Amino acid sequence: MKSNLRNALILFMFLAALVALPPAFAQQTTPAEVKIDAKIFDAYTGQYRDPQLPDVVLSFFREDDKFYVQLTGQDKVEIFPSSESTFFLKIVEAKVEFVRDPATRKVTSVILTQGGVPHTGTKVADTPARDGRVPFVRREAMIPMRDGVKLFTVILAPEKQDGKLPIIMERTPYGVAFQNSNAVNGRKPELIKDGYVFVYQDIRGRYKSEGEFMMNRPLRDPKDPKGVDESTDTYDTIDWLLKNIPNNNGRVGMMGVSYPGWLAAVALVDPHPALKATSPQAPMVDTWMGDDFFHNGAFRQSYGHEYVFEMESAKDGASFSMNGEDGYDYYLKFRSLGELTQKLGGKLPTWNAFVAHPTWDAYWQARAAQLYIKHASVPTMIVGGWWDQEDLFGPLALYGALEKSDRENHVSLVMGPWNHGGWNGSGTTLADVSFGSATGKYFRENIQAPWFAYYLHDKGPLKHAEATMFRSGSNEWKEYASWPPRKEATPRNLYFREGGKLSFEAPQKKVAGDSNSYISDPASPVPYRKRPIEGTYDPRGSRWRTWQAQDQSFNNGREDILSWSTDVLDADVTISGDVIANLFASTSGSDSDWVVKLIDVYPDKNDDPKLNGYQLMVAGEIFRGRYLSGFTVAKPIKPNAVNKYEFSIRGNDHTFLKGHKILVQVQSSWFPLYDRNPQTFVENIFLAKPSDYQKATQSVYRTPQYPSNLAVMVAK
């Protein structure tokens, strides 16, 4: 749920963190500073850029005998020489080294190193970039709500304002006190060009706001005139802003990623008349069904534990630490989910809710936004990423819910090759996979900025499709009249066949060995990403944010994963739309998890050696077997009975290129992101005992009677 800062800053993360540096990053050792002739630095002056991050520029320059580096949209930072070609920062432990061409002796690049990890930027200009930031006047306010609670709010208005401007607001549980002119210039340059007043607010009970925080606060009782929820707080805030911000044009837009994305969606419930556009981005819509805390009933253990700890241990947030231990080992030490529950001792309200409400009961349904946000009376642009590690379900579910009543054509959907909030960065790469262009920059400049400008400024005309998708593999933007596409794709099925083959041809006759089996052992669960597994938000760095796009071949050779693959493709195959698993399977236990993954297997030889044999997960999801008959009541599975498990593994718009293979895998654990299924039915897994965890034999069938397959939409 935590919204990333611009992913483009990852390359230069030590500079992005200068404004609010956590103690863990404080410099431990300082290199010896030496005196150099200041003119030596003139050869280093200029702009440097990583080709993968074209919208991020580092400028180096000197002022008399002082040397500086400046990141796009940020303040300059002084650097200090440790030799004639190497420099260091005093505010963080980081090294800067300039590189010359051996033949010409010209400076060609800079190597930036932090935490032992080097990053290279190529010199692209001999003069530093112009500082094009727009100065904003910052103002703080405690805005009263209808029940008397006051919410801390930061208002940023352009210092020079010609005419009346609209307001763009973000509400968040993650703190807004740091928001200033520098921050908004760094994160909203495309919007700043059109002119807005930016407003940021701590929601009730968080950071500097008054009141009590409640995770995903449900809607108030409409019969209670004193009732409040996030929609009423939004309404009251907008009302106050219109009366207290000078020279506003009476129009307000909202946006936000993750939890703030959900808040931008909740604004649609009884919206203020001045709300003219809202963009819920990666909104956490239903945290039991498919977003942060559960997926199809399977509990997201490491994420749920660590996120809830950080949110509810302190009003201003807390840090979770495993003290450098591999997360796989850390969570495996808890012999059952019940032991972890005991350790937490009832101190975290949301964890207590997990224990009290393990099924999709009235508690979770009251928090399922797709059930109570049923109509968009204002223009709504929903944004998501196909490799969102936290909230992929949300944008698709919200779009599906709103589209049913969208007679005014207010609702649109944008999905790209991004992780959680990745559209706010460059979007050129994810893990080791390149998408051939700066997709994030394209979205912000060509989709998001014109959309807000049209509805808040009357700038137009607006060319905006019902569904805008980035098609990975072939790496191109596509527009559709609906999502999933109705005219551009044909339904087909990828069948699991004998000999580990995957085929569009269904099995016609029963053959010997008509199923594949494996032993699922809770004592040795399948890791969900390559070990060591860092904490979700480990301040020293974590691969969590890109895990879904990381190479899946690290699990090759495990006997508790079944695989079916096509031959090498002799032509491109494009899948556009939902992907549905139709899994015919049995277990010797009385409960089971089923994980299904759709993977693009790269050739053994590629132009980029990192992609040799790379396995890119295009779609993947888990289903907890106890909910086969419905999510509101858990029931035991009849041992060794063949059942059909039909569930969405989400979808994508992706081309499997000629020369690649299509691979499908099935397994029964994804640890420690998801808790281990005991494989013995217990009423409440949060209270399970170690003795409940047992090995089970899992079988997947592939006969004419039980034709396990993936239902896909193949582009015409």
- The string of pLDDT tens digits covering residues 572-612 is 999 999 999 999 999 999 999 999 999 999 999 999 999 99
| The pLDDT of residue 92 | 84
- The DSSP element (H or E) to which 647 belongs, if any, is strand 643-656
Beta carbons of 87 and 80 less than 8 angstroms apart = yes
Query: Above 50 in pLDDT, residue 9?
Result: no
Query: Above 60 in pLDDT, residue 5?
Result: no
| The pLDDT of residue 29 | 65
Q: Higher confidence at residue 24 or residue 539?
A: 539
Q: Higher confidence at residue 21 or residue 711?
A: 711
Report which DSSP code applies to 221: P
Query: Above 80 in pLDDT, residue 54?
Result: no
Separation between Cα atoms, residue 77 and residue 6, nearest integer Å:
19
Query: Above 60 in pLDDT, residue 239?
Result: yes
Strand partners, 143: 151
| The pLDDT of residue 201 | 98
| The pLDDT of residue 1 | 52
Beta carbons of 82 and 88 less than 8 angstroms apart = yes
For 246-274, write each residue's pLDDT tens digit: 999 999 999 999 999 999 999 999 999 99
| The pLDDT of residue 52 | 66
Beta carbons of 564 and 663 less than 8 angstroms apart = yes
CA separation (Å) from 565 to 31, 303, 410, 600, 620? 53, 31, 41, 10, 16
Query: Above 90 in pLDDT, residue 26?
Result: no
Beta carbons of 170 and 192 less than 8 angstroms apart = no
The pLDDT-based confidence of 504 (bands split at 50, 70, 90) is very high
- The DSSP element (H or E) to which 165 belongs, if any, is strand 165-172
The pLDDT-based confidence of 23 (bands split at 50, 70, 90) is very low
Q: Higher confidence at residue 539 or residue 451?
A: 451
Token readout for 444 is 């912000």
For 460-478, write each residue's pLDDT tens digit: 999 999 999 999 999 999 9
The pLDDT-based confidence of 306 (bands split at 50, 70, 90) is very high
How many Cα neighbours within 13 Å face the side chain of 302?
28
Q: Higher confidence at residue 297 or residue 513?
A: 297
- The DSSP element (H or E) to which 142 belongs, if any, is strand 136-144
| The pLDDT of residue 10 | 34
362: left (phi over 0), alpha (psi -120 to 50) or beta: alpha
Average pLDDT over residues 282-292: 98
Give percent of the chain above pLDDT 70: 96
Average pLDDT over residues 48-63: 86
Average pLDDT over residues 217-230: 93
Average pLDDT over residues 623-648: 98
Separation between Cα atoms, residue 414 and residue 281, nearest integer Å:
9
Cis peptide before 273 (omega within 30 of 0): no
| Average pLDDT of the chain, as a whole number | 94
| The pLDDT of residue 3 | 40
Residues in the chain: 716
Beta carbons of 292 and 300 less than 8 angstroms apart = yes
| The pLDDT of residue 101 | 96
Average pLDDT over residues 156-163: 95
CA nearest 151: which of 183, 136, 173, 168?
A: 173
Beta carbons of 646 and 707 less than 8 angstroms apart = no
Average pLDDT over residues 698-716: 97
Average pLDDT over residues 476-493: 96
Separation between Cα atoms, residue 259 and residue 676, nearest integer Å:
27
Q: Please state which of the ranges 65-69, 220-224, 277-281, 309-313 shows the lowest mean pLDDT.
A: 220-224
pTM of the prediction?
Answer: 0.91
For 95-125, write each residue's pLDDT tens digit: 999 999 999 999 999 999 987 788 899 999 9
Query: Above 60 in pLDDT, residue 17?
Result: no
